[in-house]
Amino acid sequence: MGEGIDKKRMNFLPAEKINLEKFDCRGRILDIGGGGEGIIARRFGERVVAIDLSREELEEAPVNDALRIEMDARDLKFLDEEFLTITSFFTFMYMSPEDQKKAIREIFRVMKTDGEFFLWDIEIKPHDGGEKDVIVIELTVTIDGEEIKTGYGVYWPGKEQSPESIVKMGKEAGFRIVEVAENPNSFFVKMKK
Ligand SMILES: C[S@@+](CC[C@H](N)C(=O)[O-])C[C@H]1O[C@@H](n2cnc3c(N)ncnc32)[C@H](O)[C@@H]1O
């Protein structure tokens, strides 16, 4: 993440730990933005269909039994009600609020009744106009006894988001909110159709 970007532009949020050891879910999993480290596919392998706008990000993800498809979350090519579980692991931070709304409506459409959407992401406050215009979080993710150290960074202006903004979009799309958990700078939301 962030190769070639001047460190002076980066606003580093304090590093956080995400433990997915106990995270469980049902059925076939659609992972939105599943390139990069491919965290969800590392945990659930062949149960995962990982989609990403970027072919390069999918190619960079570790190869396992997950199915990888280049696809836009705002325009999913699946029929209605195909997945019991949908995940988004630090992907919404890469979308504008308008794109998030489109994606969450699509997520609702392709989810089976009784299905669940799990989202992990960072809280992004409005940009302060300063020279630091790239927001970065460093994470240690634990899965299957392994600690994966990674960092996710994105161009900051126009990317405000919070648990409240995601919950509001989820409700507007038709979801019922089951759980909201907040860390200092990241959060987790579970929604149900
Ligand atoms: C850095 S990854 C997030 C971490 C990743 N889930 C992992 O396990 O490491 C975020 C991904 O979201 C993808 N993305 C952004 N907007 C998207 C969209 N509209 N549809 C699908 N993928 C998108 C980006 O291409 C990027 O690969």
The widest CA-to-CA distance across the chain, in whole angstroms, is 47
Residue 73 Cα, ligand 1 centroid: separation in angstroms? 9
- In Å, what is the CA distance from 69 to each residue of 8, 51, 95, 97, 150? 35, 5, 19, 24, 22
Instruction: Find the 127 Cα to ligand 1 centroid distance in Å.
Output: 21
Predicted pLDDT of residue 167? 98
Atom of ligand 1 nearest to the CA of 74: 19
- Please report the pLDDT score of residue 40 as a whole number: 97
State the distance from the centre of ligand 1 to the C-alpha of 171, rounded, in angstroms: 23
The answer, yes or no, to whether residue 2 has pLDDT greater than 60, is no
Residue ranges per domain, the chain? 27-126+158-192
Contact 38, 148 (CB under 8 A): no
Predicted confidence (pLDDT) at residue 4 exceeds the cutoff of 90: no
Mean pLDDT of the chain: 95
pLDDT in tens, 116-134: 999 999 999 999 888 989 9
pLDDT at res. 86: 98
Please determine, for residue 9, whether its predicted confidence score (pLDDT) is greater than 70.
yes
Report which protein residue has its CA nearest ligand 1's atom 9. 37
Residue 98 scores a pLDDT above 60: yes
Residues whose beta carbon lies within 6 Å of some atom of ligand 1: 33-39, 51-54, 57, 72-74, 89-91, 94-95, 99, 152
Instruction: Check residue 128 and give its pLDDT.
Output: 87
* Domain 27-126+158-192 homologous superfamily, CATH: Vaccinia Virus protein VP39 (3.40.50.150)
Distance (angstroms) between ligand 1 centre and the Cα of 50 equals: 10
Q: Are 191 and 176 in contact (CB under 8 A)?
A: yes
What pLDDT band is residue 144 in, cutting at 50, 70 and 90?
confident
- Which pLDDT tens digit goes with each residue over 36-72? 999 999 999 999 999 999 999 999 999 999 999 999 9
Residue of 29, 52, 55 with the most ligand 1 atoms within 8 Å of its CB, for mutation:
52
Atom of ligand 1 nearest to the CA of 34: 6
